[in-house]
Amino acid sequence: MDQLPLRAPQHFINRELAALEFNARVLAQAQDGRVPLLERLRFLCICSSNLDEFFEIRVSGLKQLLELGSTQSAPDTLNIPEQLSAIHARALHLIREQYSALNDVLLGELHAEGIELLAGTEWDADTHAWLEQHFISEVEPVLSPLGLDPARPFPRIQNKSLNFIVKLSGKDAFGRDGDMAIVQAPRSLPRIVALPAAGGRQRLVALSTIVEAFVPRLFTGMEVQGCYQFRLTRNSDLFIDDEEVDDLRRALEGELAHRRYGAAVRLETGANCPQQMVDFLLQHFALEPLDWYSVPGPVNLNRFSAIYDLVPRPDLKYPVFTPGLPEGFSGVHDLFDAIRQRDVLLHHPFQSFTPVMDLLRQAAADPTVLAIKQTLYRTGDHSHIVDALVAAAQAGKDVTVVIELRARFDEEANIELSTRLQEAGAHVMYGVVGYKTHAKLLLIVRREAHGIRRYCHLGTGNYHAGTARSYTDYGLFTCDEAIGTDVHEIFLQLTSLTQTPRLRRLLQSPFKLHESLQALIEREITHARAGKSARIIAKLNALVDPATIENLYRASNAGVRIDLIVRGVCALRPGLPGVSENIQVRSIVGRFLEHSRVFWFENAGRAQLYLASADWMERNFFRRVEVAFPIQLAKLRARIREDLERYLKDTSNAWLLQSDGSYARAAPEAAARTAPRDAQAQLLEAYSAAARLPE
């Protein structure tokens, strides 16, 4: 069996196309009538935002490689031009589906609920008068129309900004002929404007519609023959040459200034934009026809997310829930004492993130706490985590924070919080040059009656109270001596000059995680060949590492049953005869973003379970600092296994990956006539504030 060419190109799904398939599954939520209406609109916006980032990072990366003359191919053998062509075809179809969902379904259903997004043709005289006054007082003062001629060159266009190209005729005040101008909409202007309520109906108008209607006011004496919106997507990946950098923070600050004006990668125009105008824009931005997307509506659907906040209709949103607390923390004031009793596991968002912040606050005020060390990747604005670290530093604690400055799209925020922490007296480090610090670690050192004790929190997600309400993640509190020592060694590695530590419990990349994972898969293969129980369950955000995929194929051929729950990109093809017949891959896309990473190995009845910050990708294994940590208490392992089983039985939000790379919705078995099962809803019920889940 091992002689089969398991790394053959036909055994791999293209990573870029797999990412677009994930966006299709997000879009399906917007098309699903079971989902509350305003949540469906929100999913449409998420799909649009995801697609933006895909072009900003993935497509721009391919284009850069092409410009450098790269001839590299993906594991499925598609070369770069072939990938760009396939991306265009799939993205074009996805965009058409997005606007069809908006124009043909969502707007009509919103209208039926008394929520109207008015087109210019739907304005009555009073509405027109109100919007004209709004334009005069709120919009026109901040617009700067820019004529195009030899003395007035084409303005710089910011990444993803809303712009209009205007066709003109006539002469201006200086007697010059003018035929084109550019109007840029500042980001300070709200993209959705709420009109005064009329007859109990909520009426809204897009900024793009307002500008198109009143743009003639900007060109007095000229004839406006057409006004067409467009948007440019640029390369937003920051390049820092680690070997040439003396000061990472300063270098990053310099790069951030250029992000808004990176190389152009995509042009979007309104469907009414004449081809002559499109060709002019493509030529100016040095783009090809494959880089152009014509859309029948606003060029940035993500701006419609403002409607969700503007419309106070809880009946059209998911029900509000109150996260619960585990039994170990319920009614407890001394969290250190609770953690000494036993390890405590939190499952967000079903259980509250508050204990993490409370532990830091308690540590900041506790005179017996000597030191606090923490990694920060994303924290969000006005972070209570950072507040507690600042308070601890000001209280005289030895506070060390490893901040990943290069957390994509959070670089500027992380620079600001690093300044705040340094001003409070904390030691701030930026990790290791050449490796992103993605591990989620908190270490509190406390002097107690019997000596020094280390308290740890290890998680699968960021220390971000906001995403902890919408992302599924696990967090473990423990004062296990071996884990505490391991975390201590990792912080020494990150903040000083030391050799790779020999860890007792944790698996760390870029050193042992990949190697250990392959050994764990190999052990299941050995058990299967010996006739012992062998199974792998892995819950991930992405699976693309070729070596891991090859070993999973080997395990499948050896008889290991493999269940993969991969939310996003998966390059493995399940169900291939002689390759992956024992592998099933499912993706859960529901109310919450599935973000936790869980690795379960049956191990002949002596199950081993790890939670991790890392996905099964080459970057996580070899170019990041990541940590996988074991769950040692049998009760906690059983609880997580029960959670996994819920996901494996989900028939409401689950999609099954087919061997051809497509996805099909999971459905209840007809013979059993069972009702659809929703894993996230079950977890909400099990972990809610009213429930008390035994530890």
Active site residues: 438
| Strand, helix or coil for residue 7 | coil
First to last CA, the chain: 43
Is residue 94 classed as helix, strand or coil in its secondary structure?
A: helix
- At position 208, the amino acid (one-letter code) is S
Which residues on adjacent β-strands are paired with residue 685? none
CB 185 within 8 A of CB 211: yes
Residue with tokens 């743009």, as numbered in its chain: 215
Grouping H, G, I as helix, E, B as strand and the rest as coil, residue 110 is helix
What residues have CB less than 8 Å from 395, skipping those under 6 apart?
A: 364, 365
Quote helix, strand, coil % in the chain, to nearest 5. Answer: 40, 25, 35
SS (H, E, C) 293-326: EEECCCCCHHHHHHHHHHCCCHHHCCCCCCEECC
Residues 615 and 637: their CA atoms lie apart, in Å, by 20
SS3 219: coil
Checking DSSP bridges between strand 162-169 and strand 597-601, what pairing results, if any?
Answer: unpaired
DSSP secondary structure letter of residue 118: -
Concatenated DSSP letters of 574-616: TT-TTTSTTEEEEEE-SSSEE--EEEEE-GGGS-EEEEES--B
Burial bucket for residue 264 (CB in 10 Å: 0-12, 13-18, 19+):
buried
Residue in this structure with the two tokens 């299967």, named with its chain if needed = 528
Which CA distances in Å does 152 have to 178, 278, 587?
11, 20, 52
- Is 265:291 a contact under the CB 8 Å cutoff? yes
Radius of gyration of the chain (CA): 27
Where helices occur in 371-463 by DSSP H, the ranges are: 384-394, 411-424
Q: What would the two tokens of residue 434 be?
A: 């050449």
Residue matched to tokens 């880089």: 291
